Amino acid sequence: MSQQTIAFIGTGNMSYAIIGGMVKNGFAKEQIIATNRNQEKLAKVAADFGVRTTADNIEALQQADIIVLSVKPQMMAELAQSFIAAGVDFSNKVFISVAAGITVKRLQEMLGHPVKMVRCMPNTPSLLGRGVSGLYAEGTSEEENQFIEAVFNSTGLVVWVDKEEQINDIIAVTGSSPAYFFLFMEAIEQKAIELGFNAEQARALVQQTALGAAEMALSQTDISIAQLRANVTSKGGTTHAAVEHLKANGLVENVSGAMDACIARAQEMEQEI
Ligand SMILES: NC(=O)C1=CN([C@@H]2O[C@H](COP(=O)(O)OP(=O)(O)OC[C@H]3O[C@@H](n4cnc5c(N)ncnc54)[C@H](O)[C@@H]3O)[C@@H](O)[C@H]2O)C=CC1
Ligand SMILES: O=C(O)[C@@H]1CCC=N1
């Protein structure tokens, strides 16, 4: 299994990050094929990682044992159709879809076969080896799952889920959530500028504080996140005033509502695509 060839079809942001992690973690470059319609993007992947590249999806499909479907959800049906039209026997290959909002059943319908299918929900910090990937498998062997786990371990933390619908929960908790943190950072950055810091200072201040807070959580897992917050919050002090304002204005309920909206959108996409 370790010598399997893996093809990334539609190597954009997400697959670029996964390939980067694999190469850094000792997967053979010859084992990895990246495709894209866009030659510039392909040239970047080739230059950065030295993996095999091609604009021909069918060539990659033929040569690989594992196919990572990594185009936008709305492009998936057209891609699957082109696989069928090429007349390649792919019924024994393992497919991994990183697309949000397309079920295994729907992917199999698109491909016209009950192929072995893994759904993966990664996130963009995978680029730095700090990602989280949720995995759900149907029809794969233990050996295949181990290989796939090793692939995604090279980009960060891996969590398997037993039920497919939990992939939508993973989207809310880790797939989309880097954007929630970025929004919070943007809000602090914007206010810092309003307070008179220049743009460069505001960016430096917010990113260093976010990194410091994340590293404190990472390095002190024996202390709850609530306690880490309490440790900043002096009784009757400034942090207390700020945190109470956020709470009174519904921050916690808002985050919960945002995550529900994320899951609802994934479910809606399952009906649309
Ligand atoms: N960006 C994110 O944070 C996450 C994205 N995803 C999923 O990953 C998938 C890809 O997302 P991104 O990488 O952000 O998108 P992206 O747009 O950066 O990458 C997709 C790439 O596919 C190429 N492409 C489109 N059709 C093609 C075709 N027929 N043949 C070859 N190449 C083709 C495009 O040129 C593009 O570079 C989506 O399905 C999304 O749901 C999953 C988790 C997180
Ligand atoms: O926004 C999206 O639909 C994708 C899935 C998770 C992150 N980006």
Q: ipTM of the assembly?
A: 0.98
121 in contact with ligand 1, CB cutoff 6 A: yes
- Ligand closest to Cα of 72 equals 1
- The residue assigned the tokens 């959580």 is 217
The arrangement of strands across the sheet holding 131-138 comes to 52-54, 32-35, 6-9, 66-69, 94-97, 116-121, 131-138, 156-160
154 in contact with ligand 2, CB cutoff 6 A: no
**Banded pLDDT at 1 (limits 50, 70, 90):** low
Q: How far apart are CA 37 and CA 30, in angstroms?
A: 21
**pLDDT score at 58:** 98
99 in contact with ligand 2, CB cutoff 6 A: no
Residue 65 has pLDDT above 90, yes or no: yes
Q: How far apart are CA 174 and CA 167, in angstroms?
A: 10
- Ligand closest to Cα of 132 equals 1
**Banded pLDDT at 3 (limits 50, 70, 90):** confident
Mean per-residue pLDDT, 241-270: 98
Q: What percent of the chain has pLDDT over 90?
A: 98
Mean per-residue pLDDT, 233-252: 98
**pLDDT score at 176:** 98
Q: How far apart are CA 127 and CA 134, in angstroms?
A: 16
What does the block give as tokens for 245?
């304002």
Share the mean pLDDT of the chain.
Answer: 97
Residue nearest to atom 33 of ligand 1 (CA): 10
What does the block give as tokens for 259?
């995550």
- Ligand closest to Cα of 13 equals 1
Give the Å distances, CA to CA, from 96 to 121, 140, 190: 10, 11, 39
**Banded pLDDT at 172 (limits 50, 70, 90):** very high
Q: Say if residues 218 and 156 touch (Cβ distance below 8 Å).
A: no
Mean per-residue pLDDT, 169-178: 98
Residue nearest to atom 7 of ligand 2 (CA): 176
- Mind listing the pLDDT tens digit for each residue in 33-61? 999 999 999 999 999 999 999 999 999 99
132 in contact with ligand 1, CB cutoff 6 A: no
Q: How far apart are CA 73 and CA 18, in angstroms?
A: 18
- Mind listing the pLDDT tens digit for each residue in 13-26? 999 999 999 999 99
pTM to 2 decimals? 0.96
Mean per-residue pLDDT, 180-189: 98
170 in contact with ligand 2, CB cutoff 6 A: no
Q: Say if residues 1 and 147 touch (Cβ distance below 8 Å).
A: yes
The domains of the chain, with CATH numbers, are: 6-166 (3.40.50.720), 177-270 (1.10.3730.10)
| 54 contacts: CB under 8 Å, gap ≥ 6 | 33, 34, 35, 42, 60
The residue ranges of DSSP E strands in 84-143, in sequence order, are: 94-97, 116-121, 131-138
- Mind listing the pLDDT tens digit for each residue in 196-223? 999 999 999 999 999 999 999 999 999 9
